[in-house]
Amino acid sequence: MAVPSITRSDQGLPAALADATRDETALRRFLHGLPGVDQVGAEQRAAGLATRSIKKASKLWAIDTAITMIDLTTLEGADTVGKVRSLCAKARRPDPERPDVPQVAAICVYPDLVPTAVDALRGTQINIASVATAFPSGRASLAVKVADTESAVEAGATEIDMVIDRGAFLSGRYGQVFDEIRAIKAACGETHLKVILETGELVTYDNVRRASWLALLAGGDFIKTSTGKVSPAATLPVTHVMLQAVRDWHTATGELRGVKPAGGIRNTKDAIRYLVAVHEVAGPQWLSPNLFRIGASSLLNDLLMQRRTQLEGHYSGPDYVTVD
């Protein structure tokens, strides 16, 4: 493994972590030396936390917090300029009748639609995320992946969601995956990098833990569960494992890194379960869009309907919110 020159993530790391990036052998030794994940324990804890109830005042706070964490996403082959503009309008003003509803964290689109989002979101603090690196397969040359990233950044993307080569990871070519993340991070410059693990294809929780640490060692600002194109996408137990990784990274290094579950989170009840997991597994410091995001397309509508219910005392149907 040809490790690129030292970057931000190497400086000041504990010796054990710095040594892990020295070469392929050291990286493999480190990743396979991580504690194994107790599958039964992880799933039982996730199920237990999912039963937590939240009272009315806290539920309204949770709904608004979840809204601020949404990466409002459209990643379809049929996406158009008009659809992206409509989604950006919704991001700016989620509920047109209620200006107190917070804005979402970001819009997530394909690279060719970044200029449309930049124009539509001008003057706001909403981030513009773009998928890159041969999304969703991750099967392309490094040169193509870097060019894809640079194109999105030059167009105005403030966040890049890259996808790892799962074939390389599952074949044990950890150095290749590490080098690609490093190269994409370099291409991002100051743009934040989210590393998509596609956990549904990683098979085991141990692999999810290894991939999480690999992405963190390589400089990813966020680790993300899924492209949303593979089933299963985000799950609570997998998200628990990833939250443990960023918590332990912070304990070891003092650096804060984020987590983004994406795909399959469609209603308020699910969103609140993820917020409970963040609080209990990583800690309350992660209850911020700077450190936790939810990749979603349909979730926002349900959050808005449930918010109206909390404030008005009766259920508001989908006719009261804009259609994506």
Q: Give the span between the Cα atoms of 160 and 163, in whole angstroms.
A: 10
| Residues 6 or more apart in contact with residue 3 via CB below 8 angstroms | 21, 22, 23, 178, 179, 182
Note whether 260 and 36 are within 8 A (CB): no
User: Among 81, 77, 159, which residue's Cα sits nearest to residue 120?
Assistant: 81
Q: How many residues does the chain have?
A: 324
**Known catalytic residue at 229:** no
Q: Give the span between the Cα atoms of 177 and 115, in whole angstroms.
A: 29
From 95, 161, 270, 302, the catalytic residue: 161
Q: Give the span between the Cα atoms of 124 and 103, in whole angstroms.
A: 9
Q: Could you give phi then psi for residue 91, rounded to 5 degrees?
A: -65, -40
From 179, 260, 270, 302, the catalytic residue: 260
Residue 161 tokens, joined: 């969601």
Instruction: Put residue 254 in one of left, alpha, beta given phi > 0 → left and psi -120 to 50 → alpha.
Output: left
**Known catalytic residue at 56:** no
| Beta pairing partners, 71 | 106, 295
From 145, 185, 194, 224, the catalytic residue: 224
**Known catalytic residue at 161:** yes
| Residues 6 or more apart in contact with residue 6 via CB below 8 angstroms | none
Residue 119 tokens, joined: 């124009």
Catalytic residue positions?
161, 224, 260
